Amino acid sequence: MDMREFGRLGRVSALTLGGGGIAGVWGRTGRAEAVATIRAAIDGGITMLDLAPGYGTDAESERAAGEALRPSDDVMITTKVHPQDGDDDIRRSLHDSLARLRRDHVDLFLLHTHLSPRDRTQPGTIDWRRYRDQVLPEFERLRDEGLIRAWGITAIAHPDTVLDALREAPRPDAAQVIVNPMDMVGDLWVFDGVPPANDAIRRLANSNGVAVIGIRAVAAGSLTSTLDRDVPTDHPAAVDFARAEPFRRLAAELGETPAALAHRYALSVSGVATVVLGVKNREELAECLAAETRGPLTAEEMNAVVALTA
């Protein structure tokens, strides 16, 4: 497994095991298979788990990790918070996560909420003033207390605000950025009429020393062979799946599965420290580990993929 620079946290494996898949977000699985998948990921060289209280019923991803991990495991833990009212939400959420994980700290703590535009607040988002005056100081305190080693943001929000967050100190230690071959944001986007700016966000993060975590490599399943969730035809994932048919044809021409090609693409994008996997079992994990072993795409392969969105 390739190891890459990851800012203040040192080095991280090129692949990270995500918590959504093992918690049943991307199709059915169970606790035993989730635990076995975590063990297989660690055995395969993965050094970070990306979890969240909201992944699965009753924080299933964190509970599965708490059961699977051993004291001797050299693995970093990322978890998230979706604050509702104030800084006490942040601290309480972290303590609840630590109890489920059976740990005394997490390595990376991520704000898992959209940032509003600076001139207005949309429902379900955090406005700029609260982000700067409440969230950031609490994250800094948690780091000073040793409860977290680093903090970051999920950089899927109004582009102008995200770019400001990456410019202004204190900056996040890491940012989760959408990185997939067709730049699909799916059901994550809430800012009608405003296009995402994933490439610009990734480049600015790189230039300002913010480690980039690539997420949605297979666009919530839309860049795989089959969409294994029962969603209506007008659901964003189903719409994206239909739109991705040229990508599946290209994958077949290159002798790759769509999922493998999508992950190799994300691993080949400059400035991405690690790519989060949404796998739900050991079979899907093995496909991704094999794709990583085959290495980055060639220049010709990369050009063929990029041409799909030209």
pLDDT tens digits, residue range 42-100?
999 999 999 999 999 999 999 999 999 999 999 999 999 998 766 679 999 999 999 99
Find all residues with CB under 8 Å of 219, minimum gap 6, and list them: 180, 182, 184, 186, 237, 240, 244, 262
In this predicted structure, what is the pLDDT of residue 120? 78
Q: Which CATH class is domain 3-309?
A: alpha beta
Helix 299-306 vs helix 258-268: crossing angle, to nearest 10: 110
pLDDT at 310: 74
CA max distance for the chain:
53
Whether 229 has a pLDDT exceeding 80, the answer reads no
With a pLDDT cut of 90, the percent of the chain lying above it is 81
- What is the Cα–Cα distance from 27 to 42, expressed in whole angstroms? 22
- Condensed to tens digits (0 to 9), the pLDDT of residues 293-308 reads 999 999 999 999 999 9
For 184-206, the pLDDT digits (tens) are: 988 787 777 888 899 999 999 99
Domain definitions of the chain by residue range: 3-309
Q: What is the pLDDT of residue 38?
A: 98
Nearest-CA neighbor of 213 among 56, 73, 43, 15?
A: 15
- Tens of pLDDT, residues 249-298: 999 999 999 999 999 999 999 999 999 999 999 999 999 999 999 999 99
Confidence at 211, pLDDT banded by 50, 70, 90:
very high
Please state the length of the chain. 310
Q: Which of 1, 43, 41, 47 is nearest to 21 (CA)?
A: 41
